[in-house]
Structure 1
Amino acid sequence: MSTRRLQPVVLGGDIGAYSLARAFHEAYGVRSVVVSGQSTGLVRHSRILTHVAEPRIDEPDAIVARLRAIADQHPDADLVAVASADWLVRALVEQRDRLEDRYTIPYVGADLLHRLTDKEEFGALCAELGIAHPTTVVHDVAAGAEPDTSGLTFPVIAKAASTAAYHDVEFAGKKKVFLVDSRAELVELLGRVRDAGYTGAFVVQDYIPGDDSGMRILTCYSDANGKVRFSSFGHVLLEEHAPGALGNPAGIITGTQHEVVEQARRLLEHVGWTGVANFDLKYDPRDGRYVFFELNPRLGRSNYYVTGTGANPVKFYVHEHVRGLDPDPRAVLGAETPLTAEGELTTEHLYTVLPGTLLRRYLVDPALRSRTRRLQLARRASNPLWYRKETDPRRVAYLLVSQLNQFRKYARHFPVAASRALAWKGE
């Protein structure tokens, strides 16, 4: 067991990267080194991290060179490298041979990573194991032919099969996920994607009715033997709707859903997954099933929904991968952490990146709105960006302005009337 100083290095500059740095600071009192393409308000003027700009972060060679230079500055530390986006995780995994002499890289091998993060492969695995997954058509963008939508009913969801490959292309109107109302609109979209240079597959899926509150999130941790040891389930209240962040949770209430955890356990243990897996799901009101959309090979952008409960997930990385200990959840998280015998977190806690009044404005279900308010009043709520250790007045000013801007962003990209229409359509 190592007793050297811990030094986390986080790739990425979004709210997920900041949340990871905060999680390491809460758990171990350490300042993470956060590496991103440029300084953003999310990491600027922070007292819990050191920011390093790497303008060529899209290039694997530049990432390796930067990480090795950082390692040279911390010769007395146990270094662990994590990332806040799939494409950055892919870079760490694919360059593991050039980094693991200096760093712990707590992710699965490249073959399994590529297989499970490809939406086509993930859908095939769900079908094999009898796990609910949307009716799906996989279209070869580079081939140029029109997609076969004979088995689908519009509107449909369209998204890149590989988010890592999709990251490398740019075009007008680019989104993470598209809601497409007609076949003509889909053909036009796929043409723009092809013209932008994307050569992978695009996934076209059955649209599960209902508003954002139908979404669910699940984070699991599997040990080095592929056994799921910990899970945290969340009910999404509202998602982000600005184009660059579309589909990311903006509000989550944690809870339990054993049936969903067992399905995820069956999938992860079937393939021998290790480390963190983060699933996106949606409740289908037509048949009462929870439908699995995709697997992310990392702690997600909204990873603080787990940390905020007191069950800090980065401790699993350090406990097992850095210190070489068995990741028993109670040993990792503390004996008082409320867990089931199977390691399912039972704490009810509210995570949000929005002002409370804005979040509640979008909640149509009175019971859900009341539950959200109750957690806020009971101080069982957290926003990852508001941290008492962050005392620089420039950062506080930035966060105040940023929170006020959320009202403007939602009014522009997702008016309350549009939210109500989605809710009514899902009834």
Structure 2
Amino acid sequence: MPFAVDRDVPGLIVKFGDYPLHHGGVGAIRSLGRLGVPMYAITEDRYTPAAASRYLRGAFPWRTTGAEEPERLVEGLVRIARRIGRPTVMIPTDEEAAVLIAEHQDPLADAGYLFPRVERELPRRLASKQGLHELCVEHGIPSPAAAFPQSYADIEEFAEKARFPVVAKNREAFTRRSHPAVNGTTRIATANGLRQLARGWGEKPGVILQEYLPREQAEDWIVHSYFDRDSTPRAMFTGVKVRSWPPHAGMTANAYVVDNPELADLAARFIKQTGFSGVIDLDLRFDRRDGQYKLLDFNPRMGAQFRLFENEAGIDVVRALHLDLTGRAVPEGEQRAGHRYVVENIDLPALLAYRRSGYTTPHAPSRASGTELAWWAADDPRPFFTMLARFVRPGAKHLYQLWQTNRRGSTSGPGV
């Protein structure tokens, strides 16, 4: 590698909630661990794939739901900092962790943690579907037309005027802290279907109703980047999503690196306007009807598929984060165009579903220049086998449930 990291500064994977099969956390442990950085992680127990990695110096078993009081979570992080005993770079893998860090910067910094400093409320606003939409409107960034009903009467009014199908999403990212109104992205085919579904949303529906961007006229793109304290990109990557699970509405199962300067410029401009600092994972949909890239989701943290992206100097967003926070230069370089990323345990069912639908991604290269697997690594095989052991029976049942939810009648299907 044409760069040297500070091996005296460990990294800590920070996650809240019960999702032990998280390939992104394993990828971050490997990425920095291979450079000699001591890696630690918060895990559900001692038998998760992350805990099994040869590159993990220590696991902190701590089963959380994401619904705990923030003060309790901060206290737990402070105790972990004392056990590590030296300055440590925080690497959040979910919105709960990213927002908690932003909103409690002083006590975490006093404990010795290193993280990008950002306006306290910004990550929460970016992670919120409503907050993101408002920021897009404010800064002239294309996004799907949206409504934010405050009552059932608002939904009735929307149903009379809207063009169907539409998409319903939970308004806030923190659905684990309450009862989510919808199970992920939900396509609603008719006005009556909306009225029927909305009866279970209570007096104050916590949803966003969004225009449906038909998959036949659209293409899914992703942007991963790291921005420094001046909101300047130190590592910028663009790619196209080939498959996701559940189909067209879930996590990335297969993706390619594809150069897209227009998309990179749009992301850099938006980050500069908002003043964000840190790692980002953006989901956008290119709408062929009007030729615009529309921002769907802003994750103010590392994305699970971040290892798809690496530049010629060997930099990914996690390495850029560690280098910058430890006062070292982040080497520049072109991204490895044509590289492919595959999540082994969900790509096969996704492939079968996409073949049935006939959907293809025009910008996906016909042949990969190389493939990065989410779970398997010859130098670190134990996370793969641990994933299989935890996934085979409950995982197969979960995949089936997701698929059933995604295909069920008028209130489900491919979404934005």
TM-score band (shorter)?
0.7 to 0.9
1:291 aligns with 2:294: yes
Is residue 2:238 matched to residue 1:230?
no
Letter in 2 for 1:390: D
Structure 1 residues 130-209: aligned runs within 5 Å = 130-140=140-150, 143-147=151-155, 148-149=157-158, 150-164=160-174, 166-170=175-179, 174-194=182-202, 201-209=206-214
1:121 aligns with 2:136: no
From 318, 321, 326, the equivalent of 2:322 is: 318
Residue 213 of structure 1 deviates from its aligned partner by 7.9
Summarize the Cα distance change of 1:297–1:350 in structure 2 as closer, same or farther, 3 Å threshold.
Answer: same
Cα contact 1:209–1:285 (8 A) shared by 2: no
Q: Does 1:220 align with 2:209?
A: no
Task: Report the counterpart of residue 29 of structure 1 in structure 2.
Answer: 36
| CA shift for structure 1 position 152 | 2.8
**Is the aligned partner of 1:354 residue 2:344?**
yes
> Residue 368 and residue 133 in structure 1: after superposition, are their counterparts in 2 closer, same or farther (change >3 A)?
closer
Change (3 A) 1:277 1:151: farther
Is residue 98 from structure 1 mapped to residue 88 from structure 2 by the alignment?
no
Seen in structure 2, the aligned counterparts of structure 1 residues 151 and 252 have a Cα distance that, compared at 3 Å, is farther
Structure 1 counterpart of 2:97, which letter? L
CA distance in 2, matches of 1:401, 1:54: 18
CA contact (8 A) 1:214 1:283 kept: yes
SS in 2 for 1:382: strand
Q: For 2:103, give the aligned amino acid.
A: E
Gapped regions of structure 2 (runs ≥ 5) = 408-413
Aligned-pair identity in percent equals 20
Give the CA deviation at 1:308. Answer: 9.3
Q: Scaled by the length of structure 2, what TM-score is found? A: 0.80
Q: How many residues end up aligned between the 2 structures?
A: 390
Stretch moving more, 179-188 or 307-316: 307-316
**2:36 and 2:329 mapped to 1: Cα distance?**
22
* Separation in 2, partners of 1:4, 1:29: 6
Could you tell me how far apart the structure 1 residues matched to 2:390 and 2:82 are? 38
Contact 2:116 2:229 in 1 (8 A): no
Name 2:307's counterpart in structure 1: 304
* 2:390 is equivalent to residue 382 of structure 1: no
Cα distance between partner residues in 2 of 1:298 and 1:79: 17
Q: 2:275 aligns with which of 272, 275, 278?
A: 272
How big is the shift at 1:346?
5.1
State the shift of 1:74 in Å: 2.3
Deviation at 1:17, TM superposition (A): 2.2
Q: In structure 1, what is the equivalent of residue 411 of structure 2? A: none
Give 4+ residue runs of structure 1 displaced > 6 Å after superposition: 403-409
Provide the secondary structure at the position in 1 that maps to 2:149. Answer: strand
The residue number in structure 1 matching 2:26 is 18
Amino acid at match of 2:88: L
The 3 A distance-change label for structure 1 pair 413 and 90 is closer
The 8 Å contact of residues 235 and 320 in structure 2, kept in 1 or not, is answered as no
Matched residue SS, 2:121: helix
Give 3-state SS (helix, strand or coil) of 2:200's partner.
helix
CA 1:158–1:57: 2 relative to 1, 3 Å: closer
CA shift, 1:230, in A, is: 2.7
The question of whether the paired residues in 2 share the 8 Å contact of 1:156 and 1:181 is answered with yes
- Structure 2 counterpart of 1:84, which letter? T
5+ residue gaps, structure 1: 331-336, 340-344, 419-424
Q: Which residue of 2 aligns with 1:45?
A: 52
Residue equivalent to 2:90 = 81
Moved more, 362-371 or 182-191: 362-371
Q: Distance in 1 between matches of 2:43 and 2:218?
A: 32
Structure 2 letter corresponding to 1:118: S
Contact 1:213 1:236 survives alignment (8 Å): no
How far has the Cα of 1:84 moved from its partner?
Answer: 0.8
- Partner residue, 2:410: none
Task: Return the alpha-carbon distance in structure 1 between the equivalents of residues 339 and 240 of structure 2.
Answer: 10
Deviations 1:339-378 (A, max 9, x none): 2xxxxx3522101103776665435467869945x32xx5
Q: Say whether residues 1:55 and 2:45 are aligned partners.
A: no
Partners of 2:170 and 2:208 within 8 A in 1: yes
Say which is worse superposed, 355-364 or 383-392, in terms of deviation.
Answer: 355-364
TM-score normalised by structure 1 residue count:
0.79
What amino acid is the match of 1:316? Answer: A
Given candidates 399, 402, 420, the residue that maps to 2:388 is 399
In structure 1, what is the Cα distance between the partners aligned to 2:84 and 2:391? Answer: 34
Structure 2 letter corresponding to 1:287: D
| Bigger relative contact order, structure 1 or 2 (CA pairs below 8 A, ≥6 apart) | 2
In structure 2, C-alpha distance between the alignment counterparts of 1:366 and 1:246, rounded to whole Å: 15
Which whole-Å deviations, capped at 9, do the CAs of 1:295-314 have from their partners, x for residues lacking one?
11111122222259843211
- Aligned-partner Cα distance in 1 for 2:285–2:168: 16
1:421 corresponds to: none
Q: Equivalent residues in 2 for 1:59-74 (5 A)?
A: 59=68, 60-74=70-84
Amino acid aligned to 2:376: W
Cα distance in 1 for partners of 2:256, 2:96 equals: 28
The structural deviation recorded for 1:278 is 1.8
Which shifted more, 120-129 or 94-103?
Answer: 120-129
Give 2:222's aligned amino acid: I
